Chains A and B, each alone.
Chain A
């Protein structure tokens, strides 16, 4: 069994190696050979279009334009070929594509073609089959020239992509609504529109052996820390994977602590969010094919900040921030505190509350922990189902589900009313966080805390809290401590954490940037 597996792995590796060797072969100088090779390698796929440019002598085919239908702008190719032909039509007035006389025309059609190429778009050369395929399958047109051991490629990529629309996941009341799309170039242009500084630099690399996904690094040179940029580059280059279909793949492969529940890489769909973080010295990783842009390094507080905080009045934004921190506590700890107090520390409740709670729990057969567990799991099921349901039914089912199931469960005596309240408040507070990636660890840890509370009461909850805080304090994101600016304490940066100070008070750039303390807003003269 092991031997078969090993043998299978060997043949796969051999196949890969053969393919790589094959791909690095140079382009043949004969157009015919190249054309046949391309057709054979691509299996004669229907969407591979080859437009031949013929002549009488020496070889029948002088040149060929190869492109993938649907990925390239065929109008450009058509106009190129028609211009080419009309410029080499001879006195006999033949406009027939296939036959032209040489006649007094001294220039070969090939050289005319090479001159007119440049009207198509950005032109480069390729000399290896691997490059040829990569560019061809990215949508560029390949122009094969007879007698040359190289080919030209023209960047005339065009395909149907999603329009720049509003984001469905990250909504905002005030502020830009544009969200990224699945096309890399559109996304980089959206960011360029926000930052028109020449120091905004891009680097693109290809990741994914089969998907050959374009991944672009964007940063503000001079503001982002060189160590972070270099570390990001290093980690991206180290990725060796078959496919990259979403930034999530990359996030998993470059994050600092692969076992932690907490994300150490930030992601966003909004260009203004990305732009503002770029200006703070973060590095953006844009992946072709997904609107989710990654940002590193990140801190815990970034997940509590929403772009709207900066567009609304500072007092309002500050109150919202404080609310978010409180709701995270509620979301994480409320069920556990309820379980702990009702199981171990009943003397802590005021007498009247104690009586009503005891009355409610009278008919309930299960201990508080089981109640809470059942309700929480039910809510998780409802939430997940609501996510997958077709939009039309989604609303109705979630409302119905919540009310009906909750009400019915109380009346059946399976859970107490107080528990339904606790679980609902918990569920709602999970979603005040603007960053979805932070609500996931909270939801998971909630169950852990419930278990600890059921076993060890408040003491257990406090101990669990210590372990959680220790873990958070030990996390690093690309070299920066995850819990800064709370600890290590950087008083300068606290202006934007629990509260958002008015803009005229926030005038220093945070520590993630190269120049901590350099000004970003100057006093009006």
Chain B
């Protein structure tokens, strides 16, 4: 696989970011926020949204400094061969773990809501197989597919959102900020990490974007759009379901879709939501898998990365099954520990990378001047 030969357009890049941002957040986030912020979840979301834009700017800063290098190559450039490889390895570890969380969430959703009779191994197997196929078709192909699916995705999302508005009850929002700012902040943290910070994976796409201009605006625009999608979802959950339901149900957005009835015949629209959600989870998983596989190949300086796909898929499948013995244990870990993992690997490590790249550039300037 030629690493930097495949090119995607800026628009495709943006769409991939939006789909990745929505990722798994659209289904699991409302519960997590509600457990801390309850009826002020929408405020948490707003705060996280603002922070998310800053995070987007941060990633854009790194992206602009990568100069066409892959992520691993940029790390090695910023830190030298040894330290840079360690930094690269940290990134890869992050992508792998993040991928595990995504596939876990998908398998849990499928077994509990949509297809309880099907063995979970089969579902994960099928899903990972399609991810592998998508990877092997190349980034151009799956970027184009994203471009294709995006208008349909947006349209269906809007339809669901508008239809659920009819059941919104404004009292669900009150009382506003009754218990002070801390619960709201507490609710904002998981959003920031799961939705926004995990998008560090976009750095793996950067060398493939066909443009010489700065990537700041495109990335910020995508973060804004993705954040908007999430905000709408959280706000609707609060308005329609109320804080209690939001907190107790595992997949409140699913419940939201189930509640939609139009004129007594248009029911069961949760299938549409499931379709949307499968698209976003698929894309986020694909991005992570892409970052992991191509990154691993670059780390070992291989000429081809396709052969890594099946073994990596196998490992991911096994570890996913192992890591989700039941949903409560999983949620426990996610809620309390995973945020720190994200913070460490998706924020601190990239921060180091940024510092490294800036210092290297300054060194380079000093040497040449």
Q: Please report A residues at the B interface, Cβ cutoff 8 Å.
A: 344-345, 347-350, 456-460, 462-463, 466-467, 469-471, 473-474, 481, 483, 486-489
With A473-B142, A474-B138 as known contacts, state yes or no: A459 contacts B149, CB within 8 Å. Answer: no
B177 within 8 Å of A (CB atoms): no
**Once the chains bind, are A473 and B148 in contact (CB under 8 Å)?**
yes
B259 within 8 Å of A (CB atoms): no
- Map CB proximity to A onto B37-68 as digits: 1 under 8 Å, 0 otherwise: 00000000000000000000000000000000
With A344-B115, A469-B149, A473-B144 as known contacts, state yes or no: A458 contacts B274, CB within 8 Å. Answer: yes
**Once the chains bind, are B148 and A483 in contact (CB under 8 Å)?**
yes
**Once the chains bind, are A470 and B118 in contact (CB under 8 Å)?**
no
With A463-B126, A467-B130 as known contacts, state yes or no: A473 contacts B145, CB within 8 Å. Answer: yes
**Once the chains bind, are B126 and A470 in contact (CB under 8 Å)?**
no
Query: What 3 pairs between A and B have smallest CB-CB spacing?
Result: A487-B147, A474-B141, A473-B144
**Once the chains bind, are A457 and B118 in contact (CB under 8 Å)?**
yes
Report the Cα distance A471→B9, complex, angstroms: 19
Residues of chain B contacted by A458 (CB below 8 angstroms): 114, 271, 274-275
- Map CB proximity to A onto B100-140 as digits: 1 under 8 Å, 0 otherwise: 00000000001000110110001100110010011001101
B82 within 8 Å of A (CB atoms): no
**Once the chains bind, are B268 and A488 in contact (CB under 8 Å)?**
no
Which residues of chain B from 253 to 300 have a CB within 8 Å of any chain A CB?
Answer: 265, 267-268, 271, 274-275, 278, 282
Return B261 CB to nearest CB of chain A, in Å: 11
**Once the chains bind, are B117 and A344 in contact (CB under 8 Å)?**
yes
**Once the chains bind, are A469 and B130 in contact (CB under 8 Å)?**
no
With A456-B122, A459-B123, A460-B126 as known contacts, state yes or no: A466 contacts B134, CB within 8 Å. Answer: yes
Residues of chain B contacted by A489 (CB below 8 angstroms): 9, 11, 147
B339 within 8 Å of A (CB atoms): no
A469's partner among B114, B148, B267, B275 (CB-CB below 8 A) is: B148
Report the Cα distance A458→B268, complex, angstroms: 14
With A348-B268, A489-B11 as known contacts, state yes or no: A459 contacts B148, CB within 8 Å. Answer: no
| Residue of B133, B141, B147 ringed by the most chain A CB atoms within 10 A | B141
**Once the chains bind, are A470 and B114 in contact (CB under 8 Å)?**
no
**Once the chains bind, are B271 and A470 in contact (CB under 8 Å)?**
no
Which residues of chain B from 157 to 196 have a CB within 8 Å of any chain A CB?
Answer: none
Report the Cα distance A140→B315, complex, angstroms: 71
Report the Cα distance A458→B118, complex, angstroms: 12
A470's partner among B11, B142, B267 (CB-CB below 8 A) is: B142
B12 within 8 Å of A (CB atoms): yes
Residues of chain A contacted by B274 (CB below 8 angstroms): 458
Chain A's closest residue to B283 (CB) is A466
Residues of chain A contacted by B123 (CB below 8 angstroms): 456, 459
List 7 additional contacts besides A345-B114, A474-B138; criterion CB under 8 Å. Answer: A457-B114, A469-B148, A470-B141, A486-B148, A487-B145, A488-B12, A488-B144
Q: Please report B residues at the A interface, Cβ cutoff 8 Å.
A: 9, 11-12, 110, 114-115, 117-118, 122-123, 126-127, 130, 133-134, 137-138, 140-142, 144-145, 147-149, 265, 267-268, 271, 274-275, 278, 282
**Once the chains bind, are A463 and B130 in contact (CB under 8 Å)?**
yes
Report the Cα distance A471→B274, complex, angstroms: 23
Residues of chain A contacted by B148 (CB below 8 angstroms): 469, 473, 483, 486-487
Chain B interface main SS type: helix
Report the Cα distance A474→B142, complex, angstroms: 8
| Residue of A350, A456, A487 ringed by the most chain B CB atoms within 10 A | A487
Residues of chain B contacted by A462 (CB below 8 angstroms): 275, 278
Residues of chain B contacted by A347 (CB below 8 angstroms): 268
**Once the chains bind, are A469 and B110 in contact (CB under 8 Å)?**
no
B118's partner among A456, A469, A474 (CB-CB below 8 A) is: A456
Residues of chain A contacted by B140 (CB below 8 angstroms): 473-474
Report the Cα distance A463→B129, complex, angstroms: 9
Residues of chain B contacted by A350 (CB below 8 angstroms): 265, 267-268
A-B contact pairs, 25 of them (CB 8 A): A347-B268, A348-B271, A349-B268, A350-B265, A456-B115, A457-B114, A457-B118, A458-B114, A458-B274, A459-B114, A459-B118, A459-B126, A460-B126, A462-B275, A463-B127, A469-B148, A470-B141, A473-B144, A474-B138, A474-B140, A487-B145, A487-B148, A488-B9, A489-B11, A489-B147
A466's partner among B138, B268, B271, B282 (CB-CB below 8 A) is: B282
Residues of chain A contacted by B138 (CB below 8 angstroms): 474
Chain B's closest residue to A473 (CB) is B144
Our count of residue pairs bridging A and B at CB distance below 8 angstroms stands at 83
B137's partner among A348, A457, A470, A486 (CB-CB below 8 A) is: A470
Chain A's closest residue to B8 (CB) is A488
Report the Cα distance A456→B126, complex, angstroms: 9
Return A522 CB to nearest CB of chain B, in Å: 30
| Residue of B126, B134, B144, B271 ringed by the most chain A CB atoms within 10 A | B144
Return A386 CB to nearest CB of chain B, in Å: 35
Residues of chain A contacted by B12 (CB below 8 angstroms): 487-488
**Once the chains bind, are B265 and A471 in contact (CB under 8 Å)?**
no
Chain B's closest residue to A457 (CB) is B115
Report the Cα distance A457→B111, complex, angstroms: 13
Report the Cα distance A469→B152, complex, angstroms: 13
A481's partner among B110, B144, B149 (CB-CB below 8 A) is: B144
Return A477 CB to nearest CB of chain B, in Å: 14
Residues of chain A contacted by B271 (CB below 8 angstroms): 345, 348, 458
Residues of chain B contacted by A486 (CB below 8 angstroms): 147-148
Report the Cα distance A286→B138, complex, angstroms: 35
Report the Cα distance A469→B130, complex, angstroms: 11
Residues of chain A contacted by B147 (CB below 8 angstroms): 486-489
Chain B's closest residue to A486 (CB) is B148
**Once the chains bind, are A483 and B137 in contact (CB under 8 Å)?**
no
Report the Cα distance A350→B263, complex, angstroms: 13
With A348-B268, A459-B126, A460-B126 as known contacts, state yes or no: A470 contacts B275, CB within 8 Å. Answer: no
Return A259 CB to nearest CB of chain B, in Å: 13
Residues of chain A contacted by B142 (CB below 8 angstroms): 470, 473
Chain A's closest residue to B11 (CB) is A489
Residues of chain B contacted by A467 (CB below 8 angstroms): 130, 133
Residues of chain A contacted by B141 (CB below 8 angstroms): 470, 473-474
Return B62 CB to nearest CB of chain A, in Å: 26
Return B199 CB to nearest CB of chain A, in Å: 21
Chain B's closest residue to A344 (CB) is B115
A459's partner among B11, B110, B144, B265 (CB-CB below 8 A) is: B110
Return B18 CB to nearest CB of chain A, in Å: 14
Residues of chain B contacted by A463 (CB below 8 angstroms): 126-127, 130
Return B112 CB to nearest CB of chain A, in Å: 13
| Residue of A456, A473, A486 ringed by the most chain B CB atoms within 10 A | A473
Return A188 CB to nearest CB of chain B, in Å: 37
Residues of chain B contacted by A348 (CB below 8 angstroms): 268, 271
Report the Cα distance A470→B148, complex, angstroms: 10
**Once the chains bind, are B278 and A469 in contact (CB under 8 Å)?**
no
Residues of chain B contacted by A474 (CB below 8 angstroms): 137-138, 140-141, 144
Residues of chain A contacted by B149 (CB below 8 angstroms): 469
Report the Cα distance A469→B122, complex, angstroms: 22
Report the Cα distance A489→B14, complex, angstroms: 13
Return A448 CB to nearest CB of chain B, in Å: 14
Report the Cα distance A349→B9, complex, angstroms: 41
Return B146 CB to nearest CB of chain A, in Å: 8
Chain B's closest residue to A343 (CB) is B117
Chain B's closest residue to A484 (CB) is B144
Return B119 CB to nearest CB of chain A, in Å: 11
Return A99 CB to nearest CB of chain B, in Å: 80
Return B235 CB to nearest CB of chain A, in Å: 27
